[in-house]
Structure 1
């Protein structure tokens, strides 16, 4: 069987990436139900991929995890009754304990430590960041912040890939992701700033505070990518899924946006308000 064709893979990545870009940007500007649906869909699909990976070693209460995630996402919808995230997580923890009590009583076995940790980590690692991204849309400059966030994240990913593939020599984290290099890391950092500079120029915005998004995405986003790579390395998986041609799963495509979204909300939703 012939090996994979790099040119064909690049074309496939580019086409599927373009569809994602148009869909995300369109839903940002539509807002409302469209934005909620795209965020919730990506969050739950990514969570499902995460549970599939962890399910190789752990017993998980996936249903409780999904219900918890929906409650967290809906608690962030404008006009909904505010619900404490801590309350949702605490109730979900007790629900998992009830499942394991019944399992122990009926089978003589229980897996409460792994079940609680694995199930709720899917909410904390994936759904909470997407909830923060959902909340960014409700800020006075929400559209601008979100466009800058996604543009910087994508710019970082693309430049890290291209520069790493062309000039990468020095391994960044060879025990986690052997193909990542310091040259790619620097290229990704510069790509993040380049994209936010383009947004600032095209939309005629002042550089501050949008350049903070470039800083966050150029540094933290690449760490978020490594975090998912570490998970896959430990579990012996190449991709989280096969949903997106040329990219893998939703978690593979949107791993960097998770930490970027958390930190951007911290900056623009809390610190700078």
Structure 2
């Protein structure tokens, strides 16, 4: 009975926390502008810090440099300086700053970890910061609001569908050495759930279906890939959650891992290839 009460409380906490996250994200996207820029910067920096905490269990990481340049990229994009050279120059300068520190360490202590430090620091910026910066750029596009709303709604529909079907009827393991609970049944239902959500959004908003169906397909597949990518990082770092900032969900990276690859691909399709 005590165990049941504990599980009920955990479910209630997770549900309430999840509802607040949904309201905050949808509100930020709907309002756009500075509000979305501030939200993205906060989420991106907290997620990046969690990524570096994971990486630091295996690598030497210059977390301070990564966080500084991550904030520079996100704030620059949020203030409307979305030109690609701002992002590229920031990545290059971050790498140069790491190498400079490693040169000093080598000079005075005869020990350096330039390769792993540079790679680990840049990996966080590429995996976490760039997708969130793409979300700001995407939001300011001609149809950015509905595309961005679709990314999050389709991702959440994918997560819920995959969880329900995988829990009730999942039999065939998808990647049991990475995420033991994921099944092919759950994966396929996640893709279907995302696709159906995209169809529903197109119908309700009287929007041409093709772009949103593309978003649905991307989120159904790439969303689950993003979750698996974070899972392998946690496996190697031997941790269950990336943090505790979100009650019932773990860290910020735990909650938003599914959108990282999706945001990158949707940005590429509609801001680069489609044009």
The 8 Å contact of residues 68 and 88 in structure 1, kept in 2 or not, is answered as yes
CA distance in 2, matches of 1:49, 1:79: 26
Structure-2 residue corresponding to 1:73: 74
In the TM superposition, residue 212 of structure 1 has moved relative to its aligned partner by 0.4
Residues 235-265 of structure 1: CA distance to partner in whole angstroms, max 9, x if unpaired?
A: 1111111111221111111011000000011
Structure-2 residue corresponding to 1:59: 60
Structure-2 residue corresponding to 1:223: 225
In the TM superposition, residue 14 of structure 1 has moved relative to its aligned partner by 2.0
In the TM superposition, residue 85 of structure 1 has moved relative to its aligned partner by 2.4
**What does 1:189-228 align with in structure 2 at a 5 Å threshold?**
189-228=191-230
The 8 Å contact of residues 78 and 138 in structure 1, kept in 2 or not, is answered as no
The 8 Å contact of residues 48 and 124 in structure 2, kept in 1 or not, is answered as yes
Structure-1 residue corresponding to 2:243: 241
Distance 1:224-1:58 versus aligned 2 partners, 3 A rule: same
2:162 to 149, 160, 163: 160
CA distance in 2, matches of 1:246, 1:194: 27
Q: State the TM-score, normalized to the length of structure 1.
A: 0.94
**What does 1:1-273 align with in structure 2 at a 5 Å threshold?**
2=3, 5-77=6-78, 79-80=80-81, 82=83, 83-273=85-275
- Indicate the larger mover: 76-85 or 155-164: 76-85
Runs (5+) with no aligned partner, structure 1:
none
Residues 85-122 of structure 1: CA distance to partner in whole angstroms, max 9, x if unpaired?
A: 22221221111111111122232221111110111100
- Indicate the larger mover: 132-141 or 104-113: 104-113
Distance 1:243-1:78 versus aligned 2 partners, 3 A rule: closer
CA distance in 1, matches of 2:9, 2:80: 46
CA distance in 2, matches of 1:62, 1:268: 32
CA distance in 1, matches of 2:48, 2:79: 23
Q: Pairwise CA RMSD of aligned residues?
A: 1.7
Runs (5+) with no aligned partner, structure 2:
none
CA distance in 2, matches of 1:240, 1:45: 10
In the TM superposition, residue 4 of structure 1 has moved relative to its aligned partner by 8.4
Q: State the TM-score, normalized to the length of structure 2.
A: 0.94
For residue 81 of structure 2, give the secondary structure of its aligned residue in structure 1. coil
CA distance in 2, matches of 1:38, 1:63: 21
- Indicate the larger mover: 78-87 or 9-18: 78-87
For residue 178 of structure 1, give the secondary structure of its aligned residue in structure 2. strand
Residues 19-71 of structure 1: CA distance to partner in whole angstroms, max 9, x if unpaired?
A: 11110111111111110011111111110001001111222111110121122
CA distance in 2, matches of 1:107, 1:12: 49
How many residues align? The count is 273
